[in-house]
Amino acid sequence: MNRTTGIILYFIFVMTFLLLWDYFVLRPKREDLLKQQTEKKVETVIKASPEPPLITLKAGGYEYLIDENTGAIYGLNDKRHKARVTGYIIKPLRDTQIFNLENLGNYRLKITLKEERPLQITLPITEDPKHERKELFVQYLDGKLKKFNYQNANQEFYTDSVRWIGLRSRYYMVSVWDFRGFVVSFKDGDRITLRLYPKGDKEFFVFFGPAEKRLLSMEPNMEKAFDLGGGWTTFLAWPIYWVLTFFEGLTKNYGIAIIFLALFIKLLTSPLSFNMYKASAKMQELKPKLEKIQKLYRNDPERLQWETMKLYREAGFNPFSGCLPLFLQLPIFFALYQVLQNSIELKGAEFIFWIKDLSARDPYYVLPIIMGGVSVLNAYLQPNIDPQSKRTSILISLLFVFLFLTFPAGIVLYWLTYSLLGILEQRIYKLLWKV
């Protein structure tokens, strides 16, 4: 065993020990502590502000929770995405009914004021507020869009030149348009709140629902508020999102859409794999000469390296060509992760059997374990004249099992499918070049 293999084995051992220690020792303690904190928090919230008497305003696939006393929108039951947003989202500043609500469909509401009194709209959040995305959007009539993050949320403006104003969290958005008056936005604890002071018109409109591209593209067009979180892989995240939604439109299942995405990416990268296998066949021809050089210059490392590179150069072989498909996969991998984490279309999206949410981890770790086995097999079948490189690839594949345990099931499904396609591809090329 050489030093590299020893380091990797040691790293795998340490990671395994830490994961097992965390799972069997620290995790139960964390859950007990979290349970106690949650019980205390729930008890405090119930004592401080009990849930009001609620009625529902139902539509296809969702329903608004309405405070029976004030007419305020207390929350949203989003059945399609298996989410529930609670807390006053649209409410009068005083506990009196000053407006009527009319559901127009597609998460759009018409609000008719009974009195010209202020009301407020608060950012809808389903995740941890401290780590949630919190943004304010202001779309002007001239098409200019301004975006403010939580730190810059304290703003005030008249709506004479404003088309719409919106608050965006990771998965949900609430926005208002055709409102006339004065608006103040401010940091409200862990959220952003808009305070609306109406003047003149008694009617305006509100969108309160999931931040889906399809919904935001409807009138008024709020599509500019739809993004995938930003980051260096955004240029890849958008094509992946488009391909996924296209395949989902055909299959009506995002799990199958991810499988088709893996097939699509494999077809795109097949020319690279083709060149890699041609290079492997070339290496088989060079193997006798390479062994001869290694024997001649085994005591002179610098000369050995120089002669080896000279042999590669004369044969027109690039020893790093086999790494290119993997390097290309890394940004695709991160881009898909970005899509899964920022696109509500995949929140609560089922695949089969136990996979009820592709944006969350596999609850029974079945996919990561299968994926690890397939990755090991893929690394073992990889054509390579260097046994040490093959052993290293196998060890890295085993390490991937532990890394993938907490990844979203959609990511694991993609990597599993891509690895299976890689094995099939290897068998085809092996028949062609006898590698």
Q: Which strands form 99-105's sheet, in the order they lie side by side? A: 99-105, 108-113, 203-210, 172-177, 162-168, 135-140, 145-149
The pair phi, psi for residue 386, each rounded to 5°, is -100, 105
How many of the other CB atoms lie within 10 Å of CB of 318? Answer: 15
Written as one letter, the residue type at 75 is G
> Is the distance from CB of 64 to CB of 103 less than 8 angstroms?
yes
- Chain-wide mean pLDDT for the chain? 81
pLDDT for the residue numbered 47: 46
- The DSSP output letter for 363 is T
Residue of higher predicted confidence among 13 and 240? 240
Quote the CA–CA distance of 165 and 141 in Å, as a whole number: 11
| DSSP reduced 3-state for 380 | helix
At residue 213's C-alpha, the angle toward residues 113 and 211, to 5°, is 50
pLDDT mean over 297-302: 77
> Is the distance from CB of 253 to CB of 259 less than 8 angstroms?
no
Tell me the pTM. Answer: 0.74
Q: Taking the CA of residue 370 as centre, how many other CA atoms within 13 Å lie in the half-sphere pointing to its CB?
A: 14
pLDDT for the residue numbered 207: 97
pLDDT mean over 331-354: 86
pLDDT mean over 418-428: 83
pLDDT for the residue numbered 31: 60
pLDDT for the residue numbered 243: 93
Quote the CA–CA distance of 13 and 29 in Å, as a whole number: 23
Evaluate if residue 17 carries a pLDDT over 70: no
Torsion of CA 406, 346, 411, 352, to 10 degrees: 90
Evaluate if residue 9 carries a pLDDT over 60: no
Picking from 115, 105, 225, 102, the residue whose alpha carbon sits closest to that of residue 175 is 225
pLDDT mean over 48-66: 84
> Is the distance from CB of 116 to CB of 181 less than 8 angstroms?
no
Quote the CA–CA distance of 122 and 140 in Å, as a whole number: 21
Q: Which DSSP helix (H) or strand (E) runs through 39? A: helix 27-48
Structure tokens at 279: 């290079």
Give the model's confidence band at 383: pLDDT under 50 very low, under 70 low, under 90 confident, else very high: low
Inter-residue long-range contacts of 287-291, CB under 8 Å, 24+ positions, other chains counted: 287/385, 290/385
Residue of higher predicted confidence among 357 and 302? 357
Written as one letter, the residue type at 21 is W
Give the model's confidence band at 118: pLDDT under 50 very low, under 70 low, under 90 confident, else very high: very high
pLDDT for the residue numbered 41: 43
Evaluate if residue 357 carries a pLDDT over 70: yes
Evaluate if residue 315 carries a pLDDT over 80: no
> Is the distance from CB of 288 to CB of 390 less than 8 angstroms?
no
Cis peptide before 198 (omega within 30 of 0): no
Place of tokens 């008497």: 53
- The DSSP output letter for 53 is P
- The DSSP output letter for 361 is B
> Is the distance from CB of 281 to CB of 433 less than 8 angstroms?
yes
pLDDT mean over 149-176: 94
- Range in 45-59, 141-155, 165-179, 419-433 with the lowest mean pLDDT: 45-59
Tens digit of each residue's pLDDT (9 = 90 or more) over 190-204: 999 999 999 887 899
Quote the CA–CA distance of 94 and 69 in Å, as a whole number: 11
pLDDT for the residue numbered 44: 39
Residue of higher predicted confidence among 2 and 107? 107
Structure tokens at 76: 């949203």
pLDDT mean over 104-124: 93
